[in-house]
Amino acid sequence: MADRNTAAAAEDEDEDEGGAQGRVARTLGMLERERATGVLRIGDDGALHLDGGAVTRAVSRHAPGPGELNGAFGGPDPELPALLAMFDAAYFLLGSGAEPVFAEGPAARGPARRITAATLVHERRRRRTLLDSAWPYEDLDAAPVVPVRRVRRQRVILTGLQAEILLNADDRRTPAELARDLGRTAFACLLAVRGLAAAALVRTQRHRGGTAPPPAAPPPAAPSASWVQPTGWAPADQDLLARLRSALVELG
């Protein structure tokens, strides 16, 4: 156990966060190569369940579970709520700076989709690009959502989720807390709040050089080509990633 975690920390495979936050992805890649079965716990943030090296479940204290997502996430694809919840949790777990600790054990019970480490990393990178394109500061992500009291624009166009957030924000709940109460994914709420910040509709901190303008062009739909999948990792599931992208667009 200790040897596995030490080896993962020492690997030089570069992830988008790098350093401490890259340890989770590196550990997942190592466990995938070993076809390990058990639970990878990420401090107090949550855990990733593995079966033969594939991730079958992800749970994060920062993200709602599949049972907390509202009925709009069902439709003709019954697998979608579970997938959205899984990738929502994985987004936060892969970005955690906590030490990952793996414990061998039986595979989680029940039906599960087998996800490769590369698939999770690709999707996390794409989501980070979307967030940074909408508003390049992270301070809003864990802060209470505080709508401005005076709108200084003649016309504002909101998505349905942004309207829900503004109607339900009470100056106390964070985007993740609003996500649970609204039955939405935490990532979708983060993206919506960053878009509200770019439109000057929620209170933000003053950053050096003033507030950032809205993005001049739509964010890219895929991760940066600069990331090279480490040798030995199973390939990313591009069909699954396409399904997730379509779902997030429709539900955002």
The residues, any chain, with a CB within 8 Å of residue 129's CB and separated by 6 or more, are 219, 220, 223, 224
What DSSP assignment string belongs to 17-34? S-GGGGHHHHHHHHHHHT
180-202 pLDDT, tens digit each: 999 999 999 999 999 999 999 99
pLDDT tens digits, 48-72: 999 999 999 999 999 998 888 885 5
Q: Please state, rounded to an integer, the average pLDDT across all residues of the chain.
A: 84
Q: What is the mean pLDDT of residues 130-152?
A: 93
Strand-pair category, 38-42 with 46-51: antiparallel
Buried b (16+ CB within 10 A) or exposed e, 29-56: bbbbeeebbbbbbbeebbbbbbbebbbb
In order of 1, 23, 120, 150, 243, the CA distances from 213 in angstroms are: 48, 33, 30, 19, 30
The pLDDT value recorded for residue 71 is 56
Interval 75-87: pLDDT, tens: 567 788 889 999 9
| pLDDT of res. 34 | 96
- How do 54-60 and 38-42 pair as beta strands? unpaired
Please write the tens of the pLDDT for every residue from 205-223. 765 544 555 444 444 444 4
What pTM value is reported for the model?
A: 0.84
Contact call for residues 32 and 54 (beta carbons, < 8 A): yes
**pLDDT for 108:** 81
Q: Comparing C-alpha atoms, which of 84, 142, 122, 70 is closest to residue 226?
A: 122
Cβ pair 176, 236 in contact under 8 A:
no
Q: Which bin fits 240, alpha (ψ -120 to 50), beta or left (φ > 0)?
A: alpha
Helix 117-134 and helix 80-94, axial crossing angle in degrees, nearest 10: 80
